[in-house]
């Protein structure tokens, strides 16, 4: 029986080239057609948005005059999807299997106690997994579960995860709004983990759906090892820890140690500039983020131990996950 859920799909584009067209074609082929598709273009300069305007006239395209960042653009699109119960986020370099939305909707209807859902993400053009949900460590690091492992070695069932990767995720619209959406100060990187953390604190669970499949290029517009990626990722993980982490002071030594290790590691790779700038700017904003923490912790409804149970606490684990880190 076809799902009755109203679903808005949000795609945020910035210089995604021909990947954007392939992404939208995958949406056009869905066995469960979305109610609405919104494409927000962050002032692309590669002509990618112009190349799809004619072919995808039924989709709403929002053109911004400047690059406002991934977080702001997604929040803007969600506000314009007021009549939809569910929001599906899909990166422009992610290509959904024809039954992607159908499988997510089925899971949402079968498990109403969960309000967000993660996809089974495969590396585009490879037989390896890109991610099966995000893992958060008490030191403040996060990484994609199963990243880089051959698909044949993954036999996961539907199960609870800490947070979904925003490259291909599904969330109830009212829950997204209740949590405050993506933190627009992040601009890009780690904003999905941060949102997932706030959802956990509010008692909203997340479920991994193994048969909701997408292929993901990953970092198609910004290299994972670029100054831009390093700066935003390393700054934002500090902000997320400050704002959200229960037992802040207890785990602070691990957080400091991890950040020192990150500075040393990136410096040895010739990237001391962006990582030092990231940590300095994160600390400069400490008072602002601490104010957010007060509000976030005030609104928390879940006991500390229940939140911590959903995190990884292995002391050395984050240092072995460098290639999978977000």
pLDDT tens by residue, 6-50:
999 999 999 999 999 999 999 999 999 999 999 999 999 999 999
pLDDT recorded at residue 323 = 59
pLDDT recorded at residue 1 = 58
CB count within 10 Å of CB 51 equals 14
- What is the CATH number that goes with domain 7-216? 3.90.550.60
Q: Which pLDDT band, with edges at 50, 70 and 90, does 152 fall under?
A: confident
Q: Is the pLDDT of residue 221 over 80?
A: no
* 68, 109, 247, 270 from 145: Cα distances, Å: 29, 25, 24, 27
Q: Which pLDDT band, with edges at 50, 70 and 90, does 3 fall under?
A: confident
Q: Which pLDDT band, with edges at 50, 70 and 90, does 127 fall under?
A: confident
Cβ–Cβ < 8 Å for 208, 310: no
d(CA 69, CA 184): 8
Q: Is the pLDDT of residue 307 over 90?
A: yes
For the chain, which residues make up each domain, given as ranges?
7-216, 227-316
d(CA 262, CA 267): 8
The dihedral of CA 165, 105, 16, 69: what is its sign? negative
Residue entry with tokens 């996809």: 119
Q: Is the pLDDT of residue 322 over 70?
A: no
Q: Quick one: 34 exposed, middle or buried, by C-beta within 10 A (0-12, 13-18, 19+)?
A: buried
- List b or e across 294-324, with b for residues whose CB sees 16 or more CB atoms inside 10 angstroms: eebeeebeeeeeebeebbbeeeeebbebeeb
Weakest-pLDDT range from 65-79, 232-246, 310-324: 310-324
pLDDT tens by residue, 193-208:
999 999 999 999 999 9
């Amino acid at each position: 029986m076809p799902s009755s859920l109203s679903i808005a799909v949000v795609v945020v584009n910035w210089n995604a080239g021909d990947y954007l067209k392939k992404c939208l074609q995958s949406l056009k082929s869905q066995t469960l057609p979305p109610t609405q598709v919104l494409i927000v273009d962050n002032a692309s300069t590669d002509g990618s948005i112009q190349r799809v305007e004619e072919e995808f006239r039924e989709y709403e395209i929002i053109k911004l005059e400047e690059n406002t960042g991934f977080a702001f653009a997604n929040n803007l699109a969600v506000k314009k999807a007021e009549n939809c119960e569910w929001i599906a986020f899909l990166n422009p370099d992610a290509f959904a299997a024809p039954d992607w939305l159908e499988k997510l909707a089925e899971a949402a209807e079968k498990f109403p106690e969960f309000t967000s859902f993660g996809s089974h993400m495969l590396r585009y053009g490879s037989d390896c997994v890109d991610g099966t949900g995000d893992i958060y460590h008490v030191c403040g690091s996060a990484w994609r579960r199963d990243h880089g492992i051959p698909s044949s070695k993954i036999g996961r069932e539907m199960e609870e995860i800490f947070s979904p990767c925003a490259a291909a995720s599904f969330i109830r619209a009212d829950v997204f709004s209740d949590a405050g959406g993506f933190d627009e100060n992040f601009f890009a990187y780690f904003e999905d983990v941060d949102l997932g953390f706030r959802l956990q604190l509010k008692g909203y669970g997340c479920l991994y759906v193994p048969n909701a499949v997408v292929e993901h290029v990953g970092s198609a517009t910004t290299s994972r090892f670029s100054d831009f990626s390093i700066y935003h990722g390393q700054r934002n993980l500090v902000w997320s820890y400050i704002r959200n982490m229960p037992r802040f002071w207890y785990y602070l030594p691990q957080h400091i140690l991890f950040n020192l290790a990150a500075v040393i590691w990136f410096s040895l790779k010739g990237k001391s500039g962006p990582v030092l700038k990231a940590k300095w700017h994160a600390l400069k904003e400490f008072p602002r983020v601490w104010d957010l923490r007060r509000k976030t912790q005030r609104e928390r409804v879940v006991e500390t131990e229940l939140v911590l149970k959903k995190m990884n606490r292995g002391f050395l684990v984050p240092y072995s996950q460098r290639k999978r880190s977000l």
